[in-house]
Amino acid sequence: MSAAPLSSRFELNSQMAAANRAAFALDGVTVVSLVGSSGSGKTSIIEAAVQHLEGRMRLATVVGNPAASRDAERLARLGVCAVPVQTDNLAANDVHNVLADLNLARMDMVFIETAGISPLELDLGQDLRVAVFGASGGDDKAAEYANLIAESDLVVLSKIDLLPHVTFDMNVFRADVAKANPAAELITLSARSGAGVEALLDSLARHWAPDKQFGAPRRAADQLEWFFG
């Protein structure tokens, strides 16, 4: 049996993404998709965010990559609900299949981490998409993955603590990001030192729709004060 036409696959994915988005909205959960190549620092960014928030926000993650269990275990050690999906191309249906494992009624934010970088990243039902690049990957990656940046709300350059030790022209990288998506904010970050983590969290908060901000009506038993310290 031949594979479904690409247009049909995108249509089916869009329908499932809409269902995911409705499920997240029902429980007032904000969903952030982190997209980047293997080794770009996505899991480390989530770890740094968890440590920065210090239990002030209830977080869950969906990790989609061929070795997802290992990254999920890293996050689980920090007390995060982390659900692995073994795949090299995370799609909305994969996310839908694990919604019950996320306990959305008791969560405030869900990170969806995926290693897939395609010309048109599939919609997973997220509120925001963050394109993640590592400084060790080179300053040419923003131009190489311009389509990903064009479809993203934010761009993060991680592992900036490595900049003194690698060949990387920040001006070239910034120019390529601006060319691909003039509206995308670029945040430089080091998960190891914590530099830039608060700026990323503040930026995410500014991009959320008012009805998805923490403090919107939700189950009284689940109320939790929310602030960036």
- Model pLDDT, residue 219: 40
- Model pLDDT, residue 83: 97
- Residues 6 or more apart in contact with residue 80 via CB below 8 angstroms: 46, 50, 59, 60, 61
Q: Give the CATH number of the domain where residue 175 resides.
A: 3.40.50.300
- Model pLDDT, residue 212: 59
- pLDDT tens, position by position, 34-65: 999 888 999 999 999 999 887 778 899 999 99
Report the number of distinct structural domains present in the chain: 1
Residue 134 lies in a domain: yes
Residue 46 lies in a domain: yes
- pLDDT tens, position by position, 198-227: 999 999 888 775 555 544 444 433 333 333
Element (H, E) at 83: strand 81-86
Give the pTM.
0.86
Domain that holds residue 86: 6-203
Residue 48: DSSP 8-state: H
Residue 191 lies in a domain: yes
- Residues 6 or more apart in contact with residue 154 via CB below 8 angstroms: 128, 129, 130, 131, 184, 185, 186, 187, 200, 203, 204, 207
